[in-house]
Amino acid sequence: MLLNLKDILSVAKKNSFAVGAFNTTDVALVRSVVEEAEKTDTPAILQFAPGEFNYATPYFFEYVIKRMENSRVPFALHLDHGKTIEECVKAIQAGFTSVMIDGSTMSFEDNIRITKHVADVAHMAGVSVEGEIGTIGTMNNSDEGGVDNVVYTNPDDVVNFVDKTGVDALAVAIGTAHGIYPKNFKPELQIGILKEINKVTDIPLVLHGGSDNPDNEIREACEIGIQKVNISSDIKQEFFKAVTSILNDTGCFLPPKVFNPAIEATKKVVHNKMELFGSLGKAHLYR
Ligand SMILES: [Zn+2]
């Protein structure tokens, strides 16, 4: 089944777990997530950042949407980090059930203005909207963007932003960064800020840059109020590691012989994330 973000996250909120949102790009990564979700009866979100959306081309989403609609498991199809109204409208036209408009690097007033505009348009089509306040860091090995210095989300801004924009989910900056952290860098989540935000709002919260953070911090965040965790680098790194070693070891270049084992390796990472977020086997809650 294909749901919008609001409907997939409201069940997660009620039952205190987070749904994994995986950046997938192409058929091998889509299969890794969809097949593991079906095997374990787990809700999942497939998401594409604008660069991934353009690479896949809108025709690709006809396959993705059909695949999700014909499944017993709940899915949502989400645009990650839409930067302009046009990018969000293109995703809605391609059949996405949810879009993120990321105005987090704009002034607070401009962020409210563009987010409300997208929410007004998207809601007319039954499409959900994720906004962001505060800024998420970047490690320069991701294409989702971000800034060098994280500005933590101010809990006082949350109620104001949610009321004025009508967003269905909110990305918060509590100390994560996009990409894989350098060897000597210790990421630390500000769980205290998350607790403060959770006190002032009922809106499902989103954790970006969820790859490579310690498991115990992520687990705690999902229990406290994070209902969507974005995973990009962790699955792509595993996938390409597998592809590289198969190419090097066998010299084989037949796509099924290279990609099928890589898909199986990636599924293990997807499985571990679903378990960590508390969503494993929770699809029955949607029926
Ligand atoms: Zn992000």
pLDDT in tens, the chain (287 residues): 999 999 999 999 999 999 999 999 999 999 999 999 999 999 999 999 999 999 999 999 999 999 999 999 999 999 999 999 999 999 999 999 999 999 998 999 999 999 999 999 999 999 999 999 987 766 655 656 555 666 788 898 999 999 999 999 999 988 887 777 677 666 678 889 999 999 999 999 999 887 777 889 899 999 888 999 999 999 999 999 999 999 999 999 999 999 999 999 999 999 999 999 999 999 999 99
For position 94, what pLDDT does the model report?
Answer: 98
C-alpha 211 – ligand 1 centre gap (Å): 10
80 is catalytic: yes
C-alpha 125 – ligand 1 centre gap (Å): 24
Listed by start position, the domains of the chain span 5-286
For position 176, what pLDDT does the model report?
Answer: 80
pTM above 0.75, yes or no: yes
C-alpha 146 – ligand 1 centre gap (Å): 8
For position 142, what pLDDT does the model report?
Answer: 60
C-alpha 65 – ligand 1 centre gap (Å): 22
Residue 269 amino acid letter: V
Homologous superfamily of 5-286 in CATH?
Aldolase class I (3.20.20.70)
C-alpha 6 – ligand 1 centre gap (Å): 18
For position 229, what pLDDT does the model report?
Answer: 96
Give the active site residue among 80, 168, 212, 234: 80
C-alpha 237 – ligand 1 centre gap (Å): 17
Residue 45 amino acid letter: I
C-alpha 230 – ligand 1 centre gap (Å): 7
